[in-house]
Amino acid sequence: MIKRFTLYAILNLMCLCSAVSQGIELKWQIGYHKTETAQPAKWMPAVAPGAVQLDVMKGENYKQPWWFADNVRQFDWMEDVYFTYKTSFRKPQLQAGERLFFFSRGIDYQFKIYLNGKQVWEQEGMFTYVDIDLTGDLQDNNELKIVLMPVPKLGFQYEDNPGLYRSNARESAKPAVSYEWDWHPRAVTRGIWDETSLVVRKPVRISDVSVTYTLNEDLTRANIRLDAEGIGFPGNTFKWILKDPQGKTVLEKSGALASGTQGIESVLNAPALWQPNGYGEPNLYTSEFYLTDADHRILEQRTCKVGFRRIRLIMNESAWQARQPMPLTRATAPASLEVNNRRIFAKGSNWVHPEVFVGVVTPERYREQIVLARNAHFNLLRIWGGGIVNKESFFDICDELGILVWQEFPLACNEYPDKPKYLEVLEQEARSIVKRVKKHACLAIWSGGNELFNSWSGMTDQSHALRMLNSICWQLDPQTPFIYTSPVYGIGHGHYIFYDKTIDREVFQWMASAKRTAYTEFGVPGTANIDVLKSFIPANDLFPPKRNTAWEIHHGMGMWREDSWLELPTFEKYFGKPQSLEELVQYSQLLQSEGLKFIYEEARRQKPYCSMALNWCYQEPWPSAANNNLISWPNVVKPAYYHVAAACRPVLASIRVPKFEWREGEDFTCDLFLLNDSYDKIGKAKITVTLQYDETETELMTWECPGTEAFRNIQGPTAHIRIPRMKSNLFTIAVKVEGRSEYNSAYVLLYAGKDVQKRFPPKEYYDFRL
């Protein structure tokens, strides 16, 4: 009998997700064919986890590396053919009652599985684990095959309109980004993308263990419940131990198992709370559940981490009091995160998967990038709905480092239909995602997807997909906030460029005049570092940038807008035509650094009405010539990263300037602030603002700041100075706090005049480690 995926199967399968720890590794081969029933003309070695494109590239000696120049276009033809993985194995020696399972944490995207020529499974969806009991169909020598269907398509042709090609994904739960975005190439992935193996399971075994809890109002007591499910429980016993973050046992329970499910309740007084980065320690307890026989000998063990915290999404301060003219409409949506009964200011970024071919993402790469996020004073990552739901190690590391996660479902910038077939697959995937991710302390928000209430998507809160997702989250994880999409009313997306010629405004103007409860996407583009550019652009195309070269293929131009993301007209407005690659890179990165610094600090200056600032985007899945990212692929920090990190310090002196470019004789002004996102009270401080240019430093003003209360900013006076004649084209406004150099800030601005000398900021501007 063919085993098809049903919702009943999902519920059973998710209980088995932790049973893959002792797997039998398989050696795979892969081949492609034009029809489902045809056989490949040849077989090639395959790497799993991986991607079919990478296996074929290696097996057929395609141009490498795949990310160089236009090599990625070698993969386009693969979208419309079938691929088959195959492996062989001998039947293992099974003890009495043991069963052999095929287990996979992820196969992308639609597939059928055959054992010895018999179809044993069929599934659509890459986020639902596959778990098949093979025992009854085993022979002495076995052949296992996975047949991948062509990628989902609805008839949209890339050649007709590349920007609409992602619409092919709108009736599937396939992440739309792989059909191409303005920072991601057309490379629609398929293949085994997460851990996959054969697993021998004992007749008496644990299927799943989950720990849930409720905290009392003042967070001093946790009512804890452990639920264990398994096979062969009756007649056996258990022991449950909970250890605090220092490894000390704080709770222990034991007893007999009477059925296949066991619920155990207990109380923990004065739990050490899990706190997000910048607000305390991300304390994690260790839960150890032991399945033991009647003589208390250990048969199996399950260990997991538990973080005690309460997260709510509440109305922003003063949002209820915002005055509206008649006729009234609804108030803005809640956008303020409250963690453990305290509001936080959410600082972070939009996370996209760090590789085009998600099968090759490793725990090490996750850790490198999440550590950088922590070091940048980030406390929240929005997992964008156009990409994947990350592998388990991503959430484990966020738990450990105190990084909150805003998790979106795989819907983005499309009008997803009310059709039953699509909704069935989406429900399957959503239930799998929620049951897996809800166990993590880092989870802060569920979101239906990206930009679904905008004109290019055309969805509403009455769309069946979003109503269903809200219902699933309520059923399975009612304590975690849910929003339908981002942006919703009150939240802002954009702008994404330093200067917009269509409205003749800079970031310094449009951001200062904005009033949003949260800024969950915004950006300023900048080029990649020179070494990164040289790694994928042929030497004869490096400079000057031109259309129809790797500059365009790698998103330098003709992307979101005609000039995005290199934005050469903006560059020329301020600096003239670039005379070298070095000049192009350094001034482009200067614009990105100063622009993003201003947005983050301005969002914080708008606190308490504003509660969140997340730039677009944190990193990228392949090398871009220019982009809004802070980290270039594979993991190269751009200068903007350091300036954003400085703008996200818990406490800093900050200025608001009205524009970037200044001329001799103009009245320069800047508003002075002391920003405090911490819950420390900041005492009196002497803050001095100076103008630095041509090896000259002139004091603008000194402010005797009275200090500020916990989690409160204070605005100071406005400084003035008439811009003097300068020899060079850059000057710095320095803000220094006497005795507290960690609060100091500096801003590089442009001087425009005749016969000025072009210069670059010092090396330290581009790398704070120097």
514 vs 330: CA distance, rounded Å = 19
Residue 705: pLDDT above 90? yes
The answer to whether residue 209 scores a pLDDT higher than 90 is: yes
Q: Is the pLDDT score of 741 beyond 90?
A: yes
Residue 310, beta-bridge partner list: none
Residue-wise pLDDT for 360-373, tens only, equals 999 999 999 999 99
Nearest to 412 by CA among 359, 448, 375: 448
C-alpha dihedral, 173 to 193 to 396 to 125, nearest 10°: 20
* Average pLDDT of the residues in 449-475: 97
Confidence of residue 323 (pLDDT cuts 50, 70, 90): confident
- As a whole number of angstroms, the distance between CA 358 and CA 50 comes to 7
Query: Does the pLDDT value for residue 19 go beyond 80?
Result: no
Sequence-separated (6 or more) residues with CB below 8 Å from residue 424: none
Q: How confident is the model at residue 22 (pLDDT cuts 50, 70, 90)?
A: low
| pLDDT value of residue 11 | 34
Amino acid 10: pLDDT: 36
- The C-alpha angle with vertex 178 and arms to 173 and 181, in degrees rounded to 5, equals 115
Digit-coded pLDDT (tens) for 628-658: 999 999 999 999 999 999 999 999 999 999 9
Is the N-terminal amide bond of 175 cis, ω within 30° of 0? no
Give the integer Cα–Cα distance in Å for 714 and 605.
9
The yes-or-no verdict on residue 112 having pLDDT over 60 is yes
Reference 343, options 679, 40, 90; nearest CA is 679
Q: Are 485 and 449 contacting, i.e. CB atoms less than 8 angstroms apart?
A: yes
The answer to whether residues 735 and 597 touch, using CB atoms and an 8 Å cutoff, is no
| Among the listed residues 536, 562, 721, the one whose alpha carbon sits nearest the alpha carbon of residue 66 | 536
pLDDT tens per residue, range 265-322: 999 999 999 999 999 999 999 999 999 999 999 999 999 999 999 999 999 998 888 8
As to burial, measured by CB atoms within 10 angstroms (0-12 exposed, 13-18 middle, 19+ buried), residue 679 is middle
Per-residue confidence at 396, pLDDT binned at 50, 70, 90? very high
- C-alpha–C-alpha distance, residues 552 and 626, integer Å: 10
Is residue 2 predicted with pLDDT exceeding 60? Answer: no
Phi, psi (deg, nearest 5) at residue 620:
-150, 160
- CB-CB contact of 189 with 358 (8 Å): yes
Give dist(CA 466, CA 482) in Å, integer.
10
How far is residue 751's CA from residue 439's CA, in Å, rounded to a whole number? Answer: 53
Q: What is the pLDDT of residue 5?
A: 43
pLDDT at 20: 36
Q: How far is CA 396 from CA 241, 501, 594, in A?
A: 20, 44, 33
**HSE of 376, CA atoms in CB hemisphere, 13 A:** 32
Cβ atoms of 521 and 493 within 8 Å: the answer is: yes
Please, are residues 752 and 663 in contact by the beta-carbon 8 Å criterion? yes
Amino acid at 381: L
Instruction: Name the pTM for this structure.
Output: 0.96
R_g over Cα of the chain: 28
404-433 pLDDT, tens digit each:
999 999 999 999 999 999 999 999 999 999
Average pLDDT of the residues in 27-47: 97
Confidence of residue 9 (pLDDT cuts 50, 70, 90): very low
| Strand intervals (E) in 322-430 | 336-339, 342-343, 346-351, 380-383, 404-408
Please state the rounded mean pLDDT for residues 705-711. Answer: 98
Mean pLDDT of 38-50: 98
pLDDT tens-digit map of 572-627? 999 999 999 999 999 999 999 999 999 999 999 999 999 999 999 999 999 999 99
Q: Where are the beta strands (DSSP E) in 232-294?
A: 237-243, 249-256, 261-269, 285-292
Closest CA relative to residue 625, chosen from 522, 532, 524, 497: 532
pLDDT of residue 318: 86
- Dihedral sign from CA coordinates of 460, 462, 466, 470: positive
Give yes or no for residue 448 having a pLDDT over 70: yes
d(C-alpha 661, C-alpha 94), whole Å: 75
The 10s digit of each residue's pLDDT in 58-74 is: 999 999 999 999 999 99
